[in-house]
């Protein structure tokens, strides 16, 4: 894949992930609570907090799509926080059968987001970007 195509697809993925994080997690929690909502009994302050954090991250991912190379740190934060968050939830999914749906819901989604963003994000310094010297 050429560098230009990689960045073009990265921009598309950033917008799609950003829109999903901003607007999609709440409806997924309603439609498929066993795969997207932890602690589904009654009001969940935890779930509201997660929705707020991911909605904020989603907005910034959409903004990062304008210039992905200038926003690599945000993209890599999304990759690594998705891996660690998904990893913790994967372990927690085995704490009783009522949490197993998360392996196929939010855990696999976070790991897929991390994999796609990591694959598409350029690693080295590219033309048009400056490297800071120490």
What's the pLDDT tens digit per position in 94-117?
887 767 777 788 889 999 999 999
C-alpha span between 4 and 83 (Å, rounded) = 26
Q: What is the DSSP letter of 132?
A: P
Asked if 29 contacts 101 with a C-beta cutoff of 8 angstroms, the reply is: no
Residue 59 belongs to a domain: yes
CB atoms near residue 27 (< 10 Å): 10
Q: What is the count of structural domains for the chain?
A: 1
The mean per-residue pLDDT over the stretch 44-50 comes to: 85
Residue 128 belongs to a domain: no
Asked if 68 contacts 107 with a C-beta cutoff of 8 angstroms, the reply is: no
Residue 84 belongs to a domain: yes
Domain span including residue 61: 3-120
The mean per-residue pLDDT over the stretch 68-91 comes to: 95
The residue to which tokens 């009522």 are assigned: 98
Residue 133 belongs to a domain: no
Across the chain, mean pLDDT equals 87
Residue 121, Ramachandran bin (φ over 0: left; ψ between -120 and 50: alpha; else beta): beta
pLDDT band for 42, please (50, 70, 90 cuts).
confident
pLDDT band for 131, please (50, 70, 90 cuts).
very low
Residue 97 belongs to a domain: yes
Task: Give the pLDDT of residue 57.
Answer: 98
pTM for this predicted structure? 0.85
C-alpha span between 50 and 73 (Å, rounded) = 21
Q: What is the DSSP letter of 106?
A: I
C-alpha span between 50 and 40 (Å, rounded) = 13
């Amino acid at each position: 894949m050429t560098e230009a195509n990689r960045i073009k697809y990265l921009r598309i993925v950033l917008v799609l992930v950003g829109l999903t994080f901003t607007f999609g997690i709440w409806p997924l929690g309603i439609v498929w609570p066993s795969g997207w909502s932890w602690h589904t009994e009654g009001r969940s302050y935890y779930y509201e907090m997660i929705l707020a954090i991911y909605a904020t991250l989603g907005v910034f991912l959409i903004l990062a799509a304008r210039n992905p190379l200038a926003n690599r740190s945000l993209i890599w934060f999304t990759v690594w926080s998705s891996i660690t968050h998904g990893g913790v939830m994967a372990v927690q999914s085995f704490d009783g059968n009522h949490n197993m749906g998360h392996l196929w819901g939010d855990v696999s989604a976070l790991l897929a987001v991390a994999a796609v963003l990591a694959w598409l994000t350029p690693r080295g310094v590219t033309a048009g970007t400056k490297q800071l010297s120490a």
